[in-house]
Amino acid sequence: MAEAVDRQSEQGAPGRALLPVVAAAGLVKRFGLLTANDRIDLRVDPGEIHALLGENGAGKSTLVKMLYGLLQPDSGTIQWRGEPVVIDGPAAARRLGIGMVFQHFSLFDSLTVAENVALALDGGESRAALARRLAKVSADYGLALEPDRYVHTLSVGERQRIEIVRCLLQDPRLLILDEPTAVLTPQEADQLFRTLGRLAREGRAILYITHRLDEVRRFCHRATILRHGKVVGVCDPRHETPATLARMMIGADVGSVHDRRADVAAGPVRLAVRDLTSAREDRHGVALRGVSFDVRGGEILAIAGVAGNGQAELFAHISGERASDRNDMVAISGLDAGDKGIGERRKLGAAFVPEERLGHAAAPRLSLSDNAILTGHGISRLMSGWRIDRAAALAVVDAVTQGFDVRKGRRDPEAASLSGGNLQKFVVGREILRDPALLVVSQPTWGVDAGAAAIIRQALVDLARRGSAVLMISQDLDEIFQIADRIAVIHDGRISACHPIAEMSSERLGLLMGGAEQVDAGAR
């Protein structure tokens, strides 16, 4: 369990008697005809952990970018410790005492921890002095780091510690964190919560963005909820439930995912991976070592693991983006496919949803219909010879839009114009509506809100109910326990045995993800 956060800090309990660390009043930000932030008011007090909640596209990122100086408001004011300020860039934000840890790390893999930290700091501090200060701060806050380690040798959790520590070295009064636990094991998340608790007790303010509502209820003091660019509520999340928080975010009840484990008997093996072994492609890659497992029709098999332990390499081998050393290392619907490309594997009944939405699952500057053609031209009626059937492609877009509640400004926009959650619903829906015999999906609800996550998870459950095999690579433990039938863990390129979900606790799963237990003999 995470350490409880005590609001009665050395600085006094956060409250209206104290000057806020930061206060926004009437912030407006427009992008063309879109009003991303519409008269936003926000107050974060000393010693407060304040959650910023909202569905995808609600305006959270725009707001924090204005607080960090990456964007300028069109109107409204920002006050810093009671005084009006103009934050004209990240350097100005850091000088005030604002630090930010982004969801996607900004680290150089080929540099050491100390070198990455030095790049983010102003001034000419000597390397020895910086190393001493880095070691002290990391030890004081329980964020152990080795200054001379190269970043490419570190786990994702250790990389996040670098981002947090280099913010702390600037002595921030406000720390903004964007989805900080998305890539952490349960044990690493608990350590992060303890660190945030200490920071709050020191009187620092923390603005915390997450889609994990249980975390918000466990240790946040207050929450501001955005919907369609407006503040729709401010509450004490400890007095709310995940359902009431989600309802405020979305404006409606979030549907629950219907369990189907008793509904479908195990079907034929749709995917067989046999002793899949590969060398790393570059110094930052992961070698796969004897990976073996089956996925049957009617089941969802989840592969859990901390990012960077071979998930990308495994997906590439199964999807055909990377050929295997032997043809029999990957078999789809009983046919060896290790040397086949993506198109040929699609013709065998497989469908694929990679982790990266833009650039991998969808071409950003192409329309949704063009993206449907790119992935479906060889297995559908979208083309006749060299002729593209535009009406059929638009029909695919319409079907996905209706079936997966994809929200967009016009019928067939560019992929890049959709919010992250809506693009994810489109990408997943595009593949599921083909009714594939096998679906391989990586991080299906990464960074999407509760409503979008429920739609995607229910669609995966329904696909398996119809007899398809689903292989889900995910770091979201709540998601895994909610919809998976069996689970295996990948760590350092090895995979554990597959276990029924009922036999796996979150504690044991976290230990396996962290490498505390050696991976069992190949999964069956």
**Among 113-127, 250-264, 329-343, the least confident range:** 250-264
349: which 2 tokens?
A: 């009944």
**Among 133-142, 258-267, 349-358, the least confident range:** 258-267
Confidence of residue 522 (pLDDT cuts 50, 70, 90): very low
pLDDT, tens digit, 9 for 90 and up, residues 449-478: 778 888 899 999 999 999 999 999 998 888
Confidence of residue 3 (pLDDT cuts 50, 70, 90): very low
CA–CA gap between residue 363 and residue 365 (Å, rounded): 6
pLDDT, tens digit, 9 for 90 and up, residues 195-225: 899 999 999 999 999 888 888 998 899 999 9
pLDDT, tens digit, 9 for 90 and up, residues 358-409: 888 999 999 999 999 988 877 777 877 778 889 999 999 999 999 998 888 7
**Among 268-272, 346-350, 407-411, the least confident range:** 407-411
For residues 377 and 169, which has the higher predicted lDDT (pLDDT)?
169
Residues linked to residue 362 through DSSP beta bridges, in sequence order: 358
Mean pLDDT calculated for residue range 477-498: 92
Mean pLDDT calculated for residue range 48-52: 96
CA–CA gap between residue 252 and residue 8 (Å, rounded): 35
pLDDT on residue 354: 92
**Tokens 């429920």, located at residue:** 454
**Burial letters 340-360, b for 16+ CB under 10 A, else e:** beeeebbebbbbbbbbebeee
**Tokens 């880095």, located at residue:** 134
512: which 2 tokens?
A: 């396996």
Proportion of the chain above pLDDT 90, given as a percent? 51
pLDDT on residue 321: 93
pLDDT, tens digit, 9 for 90 and up, residues 291-306: 999 999 999 999 998 7
Q: How many helices (H) and strands (E) does the chain have?
A: 16, 23
Q: What residue spans in the chain does CATH classification 3.40.50.300 cover?
A: 22-97+172-250, 267-341+472-524
**Run of H or E including 196:** helix 186-201
427 pLDDT higher than 80: yes
Contact 204, 41 (CB under 8 A): no
pLDDT on residue 505: 85
pLDDT on residue 297: 96
Decide: helix, strand or coil at residue 217. Answer: helix
CA–CA gap between residue 95 and residue 100 (Å, rounded): 13
pLDDT on residue 347: 93
Instruction: Please state which of the four CATH numbers 2.40.30.170, 3.40.50.300, 3.40.605.10, 3.90.1280.20 is assigned to the domain occupying 267-341+472-524.
Output: 3.40.50.300
445 pLDDT higher than 60: yes
Contact 465, 263 (CB under 8 A): yes
Q: What is the DSSP string of 390-458?
A: HHHHHHHHHHHHHHHT---SSSS-BGGGS-HHHHHHHHHHHHHTT--SEEEEESTTTT--HHHHHHHHH
264 pLDDT higher than 60: no
CA–CA gap between residue 212 and residue 235 (Å, rounded): 16
Mean pLDDT calculated for residue range 71-96: 95
pLDDT on residue 255: 59
- Please give the mean pLDDT across all residues of the chain: 86
Phi and psi based region of residue 334 (left: phi greater than 0; alpha: psi -120 to 50; beta: remaining): left
524 pLDDT higher than 80: no
41 pLDDT higher than 50: yes
524: which 2 tokens?
A: 């069956």
**Among 118-127, 281-290, 399-408, 487-496, the least confident range:** 118-127
**Burial letters 184-198, b for 16+ CB under 10 A, else e:** bbbebbbbbbbbbbb
Mean pLDDT calculated for residue range 121-128: 76
Mean pLDDT calculated for residue range 261-267: 65
CA–CA gap between residue 454 and residue 263 (Å, rounded): 20
CA 502 to chain centre: 25
Confidence of residue 516 (pLDDT cuts 50, 70, 90): low
Proportion of the chain above pLDDT 70, given as a percent? 90
pLDDT on residue 498: 93
Highest average pLDDT, of 246-255, 306-315, 392-401, comes from 392-401
CA–CA gap between residue 363 and residue 435 (Å, rounded): 22
189: which 2 tokens?
A: 């998340």
CA–CA gap between residue 318 and residue 334 (Å, rounded): 14
Mean pLDDT calculated for residue range 246-257: 74
Contact 78, 27 (CB under 8 A): yes
DSSP E strand boundaries for 260-334? 269-278, 288-296, 300-304, 330-332
344 pLDDT higher than 80: yes
pLDDT on residue 379: 75
Sign of the Cα torsion 154, 160, 163, 168 reads negative
Superfamily, domain 22-97+172-250: P-loop containing nucleotide triphosphate hydrolases (3.40.50.300)
pLDDT on residue 468: 96
Contact 143, 159 (CB under 8 A): no
pLDDT on residue 123: 66
Mean pLDDT calculated for residue range 222-242: 93
Confidence of residue 10 (pLDDT cuts 50, 70, 90): very low
Mean pLDDT calculated for residue range 270-298: 91
